[in-house]
């Protein structure tokens, strides 16, 4: 006996979570050729993100096994995280769409800077940004847990509160 997917999903929807955008840049198709085109930027909204350790600084993100981000982080060890503010709900919704073929247009009108270490897009106006390097991956059911060492952390914006996810909807604190 166990719980159904619906029962589990309903119970877990009662756990409020912060919302982040996980980003990475696909590696060049030919790393030996400086003229080869750079790979595409990829982004994914995540609510299963948490701090794991202070020393060393580690974070964890849970990715659906076989997703584009799961496949990319399997080959690209450097990635970024933008902790979204309550005014960035549109970004969370945009990168949560399923079945998209390309992320190129999704980044088009979003202000971002490239991380100096990871090269990943880091969203302007985010409450915090992190650049990470994958230290370990763990297969857990239908997800991959990616543990990353934090290489840099910045606080680009102190304005507004965090974007939250609760009972299947984006929400604001307070």
Average pLDDT (157-164) is 88
Q: How many CB atoms lie within 10 A of CB 80?
A: 31
Report the alpha-carbon distance of residue 16 to residue 171 in Å, rounded: 9
Q: 126-135: per-residue pLDDT in tens? A: 999 999 999 9
At residue 31, the pLDDT reads 67
Residue-wise pLDDT for 45-59, tens only, equals: 999 999 999 999 999
80, 18, 74, 6: which is closest to 44 by C-alpha?
A: 80
Mean pLDDT of the chain: 92
**CA–CA distance, 156 with 129 (Å, rounded to integer):** 7
Q: What's the CA gap between 144 and 64, in Å, rounded?
A: 6
Q: What digits encode the pLDDT tens for the residues 11-66? A: 999 999 999 999 999 887 776 777 777 788 999 999 999 999 999 999 999 999 99
Sign for the pseudo-dihedral over CA of 56, 59, 62, 65 = negative
Q: What span, in angstroms and rounded, lies between the C-alpha atoms of 11 and 161?
A: 25
pTM of the entire predicted model:
0.92
């Amino acid at each position: 006996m166990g719980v159904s997917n619906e029962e589990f999903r309903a119970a877990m929807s009662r756990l409020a979570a912060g919302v982040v955008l996980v980003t990475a840049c696909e590696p060049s198709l030919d790393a030996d050729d400086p003229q080869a085109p750079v790979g595409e930027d990829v982004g994914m909204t995540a609510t299963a993100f948490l701090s794991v350790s202070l020393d060393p600084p580690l974070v964890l993100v849970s990715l659906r096994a076989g997703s584009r981000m799961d496949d990319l982080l399997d080959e690209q060890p450097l990635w970024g995280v933008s902790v979204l503010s309550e005014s960035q709900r549109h970004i969370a919704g945009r990168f949560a769409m399923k079945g998209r073929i390309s992320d190129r247009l999704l980044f088009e009108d979003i202000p971002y800077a490239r991380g100096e270490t990871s090269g990943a897009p880091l969203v302007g106006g985010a409450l915090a940004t992190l650049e990470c390097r994958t230290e370990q991956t763990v297969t857990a059911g239908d997800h991959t847990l990616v543990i990353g060492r934090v290489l840099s952390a910045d606080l680009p914006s102190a304005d507004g509160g965090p974007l939250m996810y609760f009972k299947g909807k984006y929400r604001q604190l307070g």
